[in-house]
Structure 1
């Protein structure tokens, strides 16, 4: 009887810590740490099945230039637009739409007359078109 008690004691000494660690780990992953309605484990499992959306280069460029227009000036954004189109000719077909978006944003930030003063022949007259569209 003494040997079987030792054997049970050794087994419990080895198995019990493993069971406690695993149950604690599972409990921590089930706790809603984010404050939302789903657990973190469930949310991450759902996100894993959805492929990440990649953004088109012209969308990335437009967003970057719009931020640049706000932080610096429309002139800087237009210069960088022209440089990007020169470096990557595949963006040329999107140049006019990006320049129009910059023109509209310039009107919102600087007003129509000041925005028009930044007009240049980048992508023909698309920037000026964007300014005119925003003011009408």
Structure 2
């Protein structure tokens, strides 16, 4: 190959590569499921509307409503779905972080009740609210 051919290839790549990267990034973003399922959004919206914040006691109606919604989701589907909903709730309303560990522990205990085995429940463990889910599973021993 001569130098002119190498330059032509380099220029072509310099023009085409950014276009390909932008298009692939756009397509990747378009594939992400941005909207939550209706049940998740209803639970999260109701907890947020009722003013669950750091100064609220851990047994407020909003806390209980969120906890009940997460436990119901765990029972209907699996702990992974409920933990994802909990993480989304904390991401959407950072003041929930004060209650995240308690809620994750509750989900851990409920997972053991659902599966009847600590080992099976532990399979769903992930680092939502540190290791609180795993702590809840371990408390059930």
- In the superposition, the TM-score normalised over structure 1's length comes to 0.58
Aligned pair count reads 81
Aligned to 2:67: 62
For structure 1, list consecutive stretches of 5 or more residues without a partner in the other structure. Answer: 1-54
Structure-1 residue corresponding to 2:85:
80
**Corresponding residue of 2:125:** 119
Quote the RMSD (CA, aligned, Å): 0.9
Structure 1 runs of 4+ off > 3 angstroms? none
Give the corresponding residue for 1:101.
Answer: 106
Greater C-alpha Rg: 1
**So what's the TM-score if we normalise by structure 2?**
0.56
Q: Residues 99-125 of structure 1: CA distance to partner in whole angstroms, max 9, x if unpaired?
A: 000000000111211100000000000
Is 1:129 equivalent to 2:135 in the alignment? yes
CA contact (8 A) 1:58 1:91 kept: no
